[in-house]
Amino acid sequence: MTSLRGLVIIVSSFLCLLLVLVLIKILHKLWWAPARLQKLMASQGIKGPPYRLIHGNTKDISNMIKEAMSKPKSLSPSHEVLSVVQPHVHSWTKIYGKNYLQWHGSKAQLVITEPELCKEILNNKDKVYPKREPENFVKKLLGDGLVTTAEGEKWAKMRKLATQAFHGESLKSMIPAMVASAETMLERWKNYEGKEIEAFEEFRIFTSEVISRTAFGSSYIEGQHIFEMLMKLGFLFTKNSLTIRVPGISKLFKTGDEIESEKLEKDVRASILGIVRKEKRRKAEREVKLGKLIVPANVDLVMSCLSLHHDPLIWGQDAQLFKPERFAEGVAKASNNNAGAFLPFGVGPRTCVGLNFATIEAKIAVSMVLQRYSFTLSPGYVHLPFQQVTNRPLRGVQVMLHSL
């Protein structure tokens, strides 16, 4: 009896000790480490919204986005984007400065809106700012490919293969497909001359058709089906981007969105395989010096391209305006000699491999359209941008189509 009682005491003591160690680890991760990091960054002049236990600033960000989207929108034309799509960045850069610290759960994120620091990160070849490993729900959308692979030999091989697919001669062979897709769109527009069209949807169809034709050849209809499923995955991606995932627990319990995304992923893969058979976040890997800052290891670096692209100090007081002529003398002149502030395709070793493809596609479409039509904004247009992987108009872009 005595030995049994002793065994119970030993087991109880062990469990109590284990519980204490677990609690210490949780407190270290959720309280002590964030507090220490905040103090370290504050000593360098980097401040930010206060850290909140468990969820960090994700609830604040989510609420700010909901509030921005729920405000009544004027029917008069507007060019405001940043304060609607990323209201937290718009607000917190004004309060805390160009670079500030925010929290995704207990994970520190250094938000950077200075062009020179962004350029330093993206151009670095010493692998001290590797692309962070994406979460599982991101891989569900984008797959385990060039975009989601962090660094290393696997990425280098995929990059080499992709570069070969987009070299000069390959791009030349794709031009007829781009022209054919533009002609299909213009033929459809003949029925809407003098009427309203939804420009965003029209060009979404055009770009997906170009990719369908160039990637899948004659399998155009099947390609369209794939894009429809990817659009649904894109919605699920955005919906879950601010969700805090608890290691271990999130693997045991799947949400309805995760189950749906897995089904969509399987459908996309099956469709693509069938066709084949028939025919910008980083993280500091270790403590590094970034500009004048000392960034601790494993801090995520978040570069807000949207903030960079709408900064009046870089582009002038008319930064919000659609003014393509500002680029007539090059990006450097347009950006007040801040070439690192223009990042539609990134810079450095991970510059988007589809840069030339997208540029040629846009030039062909714009030149063919402007030879035939002019546009005016429809009275029914409501300015309401939002983010679903990329920025897009929630209610579309209604324009009046005028034949030349």
Give the model confidence (pLDDT) of 369-389 as tens digits.
999 999 999 988 888 888 876
* Average pLDDT of the residues of the chain: 80
d(CA 70, CA 51): 26
Q: Is the pTM of this model over 0.95?
A: no
Beta bridge partners of 266: none
Q: For Cα atoms 42, 45, 48, give the angle at the middle one, nearest 5 degrees.
A: 60
Residue recorded with tokens 């929290």 = 103
pLDDT value at residue 252? 39
Straight-line distance from the first to the last Cα atom of the chain, in angstroms, rounded to the nearest whole number: 100
Tokens of 76: 């008069």
Buried b (16+ CB within 10 A) or exposed e, 339-355: bbbbbeeebeebebbee
> Identity (one letter) of the amino acid at 197?
I
Q: Domain locations in the chain?
A: 36-132+281-322
Identify how many contiguous H helices and E strands the chain contains and give both numbers: 17, 11
According to the model, what pLDDT value does residue 180 have?
92
In the block, residue with structure tokens 């494993």: 298
pLDDT at 81 over 80: yes
Say which residue, 87 or 13, is predicted with more confidence: 87
pLDDT at residue 79 in the model: 79
Ranges 173-177, 206-210, 212-216, 265-269, most confident: 173-177
pLDDT range class, residue 108, cuts 50, 70, 90: very high
Least confident segment among 60-64, 157-161, 202-206 = 157-161
- Over its C-alpha atoms, the chain yields an Rg (Å, rounded) of 25
Q: What is the pLDDT of residues 20-49, one digit of tens each?
A: 888 888 888 888 999 999 999 999 999 999
Question: Which tokens hold the place of 37?
Answer: 């990091």
